[in-house]
Amino acid sequence: MRVFLALIFLVLLGYGLGFVLFVSHLPPTPASLPQTILKADGIVALTGGNERLDTAVALLERGVGKRLLVSGVSQETTKETVGKVSEGGPRFRCCADIDYAEDTHGNAEEAAIWARQNHFHSLLIVTGRYHMPRTMREFSAVLPDVSLIAYPVDQSRIDLSGWWRYPRTIGVLHREYVKYLASLVTTRLAR
């Protein structure tokens, strides 16, 4: 019985330490990067917050990428609706596409099809900071020959500074950690 309890304790300790390491290694936002060096063939924005979409549209309008894919919109949403919400300008109207993926793996698969159709060799990936590790894992699994550039954004409803003080933030981070662990397994098995 002691061995069993010790084993459970070690598993829980490892899980807890892994969670803390996961959160402490979330990528910083690229606000401090010089924007002049930021360039990619395409930009992919994963839905899940206005900050993600607004950032991606602004990057497209500045010419950071040739085209934008907004991945994971609801079935009822049109490109025109997305353009109104994000206040997309002329580049958005000509050079933006949408897809209806239902999860991060689906986002990666749709982006892979889109990148191949457009002959893109580099993609700028825009999503939330807490979501970036799993996103990059899923995307690199289906796009091994494409250069992926992470562009994480902070989301107003998720406060990552002092995250341990906010039960809602802990819940969001914990769910993402569980999904990240599952992604580690599934992407390895897919290879």
Q: What is the DSSP string of 128-179?
A: EGGGHHHHHHHHHHH-TTSEEEEEEE--TT---TTGGG-HHHHHHHHHHHHH
Of 60, 22, 59, 14, nearest in space to 184 by CA: 22
Hey, which of 31-40, 73-82, 153-162, 176-185 has the most confident mean pLDDT? 176-185
Give the C-alpha separation, 163 to 161, whole Å.
Answer: 5
**Tokens 């397994």 map to which residue?**
185
Is the pTM higher than 0.75? The answer reads yes
Give the C-alpha separation, 123 to 120, whole Å.
Answer: 7
80: Cβ contacts below 8 Å, ≥ 6 apart? none
pLDDT (0 to 100) of residue 5? 86
- pLDDT, one tens digit per residue, over 63-102 is 899 999 999 998 888 777 777 777 777 788 889 999 999 9
- What's 21's DSSP letter? H
135: Cβ contacts below 8 Å, ≥ 6 apart? 46, 104, 107, 108, 125, 127, 150
- pLDDT, one tens digit per residue, over 137-174 is 999 999 999 999 999 998 877 878 888 998 998 999 99
CA neighbours closer than 13 Å in the CB half-sphere of residue 181 = 13
pLDDT (0 to 100) of residue 10? 93
